[in-house]
Amino acid sequence: MKRSRLVAGNWKMHGSRAANAALLDAISRAGTVGGGAECAVCVPYPYLQQASERLAGTAVALGAQNVSEHAQGAYTGEVSAAMLLDFGCRYVIVGHSERRQLYGESDGQVAAKFAAARKAGIAPILCVGETLQEREAGRTEEVVGRQLQAVLDVNDFGNAVVAYEPVWAIGTGRNATPEQAQAVHAFLRAKVPQGTRILYGGSMKPANAAKLLAMPDIDGGLIGGASLVADDFIAILHAAGAKVTT
Ligand code: PGA
């Protein structure tokens, strides 16, 4: 079964109204219609309005980087899936390693966030990945398998996306080799419904994207640093087979 590709930018906590305007316009001008690759940008909450306005009528989908597991209520500082839907979000990242490590999100909480997104009709991009220590201890499959299973146990997977993001490759400039990534993707593939897209994330750049994306079980990328540089992000889209015009 041929899976369409997805290249999603994870802006993390970067941006300003002026910088976003230039970046969003450059990405949407490049266009991503056809070629079997879809493009999305996951922006910080305060910029959802700006991004939804600027991306209206373009082929670039909007996403967020986190979501509350609760539907509504007295949860100061939280943002619900219904609110994200209100801004036209099609995707939301859940369980990013920075959320797990810096904000203590547990597998159970990630599964609840995944469920909240699915209930609202937003496709979760579920991040899984091992630390360097876990990899060196030969525990990669155990760790990513546990992270994925926690979600599978309580959720219907639907149109959700998985992102394999080895923690040691994120923001380090040290990407997993295509073979290392492919091995984990194949492991994950066996556990998710047919047709599920599995993205690779962790220092994906124009220079390594084509080789990673050539692997049979790598269906796209979740791009951090390189998604903030229009030319780099567009080059990765191009490597994913998107029809881009520059
Ligand atoms: P990076 O981040 O591309 O900057 O390594 C990827 C991510 O954390 O999603």
User: Where are the domains positioned within the chain?
Assistant: 5-239
CB contact at 8 A, 160 and 120: no
Distance CA 103, CA 179 (A): 31
CATH 3.20.20.70 at 5-239, yes or no: yes
Of 69, 105, 134, 165, which one is the catalytic site residue?
A: 165
| Tokens linked to 244 | 């881009």
Over residues 127-185, the pLDDT tens digits come to 999 999 999 999 999 999 999 999 999 889 999 999 999 999 999 999 999 999 999 99
Residue 141, pLDDT score: 98
Residue 209, pLDDT score: 98
User: Annotated catalytic, 185?
Assistant: no
Of 96, 105, 185, 238, which one is the catalytic site residue?
A: 96
Q: Which amino acid is at 227?
A: S
Ligand 1 pocket, residue 95 CB under 6 Å: no
Neighbours of 56 (CB within 10 A): 11
Average pLDDT, the chain: 95
The pTM of this model reads: 0.97
Ligand 1 atom index nearest CA of 97? 8
Residue 33, pLDDT score: 59
| Tokens linked to 151 | 């979600």
Distance CA 125, CA 117 (A): 10
CA-closest residue to ligand 1 atom 6 = 224
Residue 234, pLDDT score: 94
Query: Taken in order 129, 180, 10, 119, is the CA torsion positive or negative?
Result: negative
pLDDT confidence tier of residue 37, bands split at 50, 70 and 90: confident
Over residues 183-219, the pLDDT tens digits come to 999 999 999 999 999 999 999 999 999 999 999 999 9
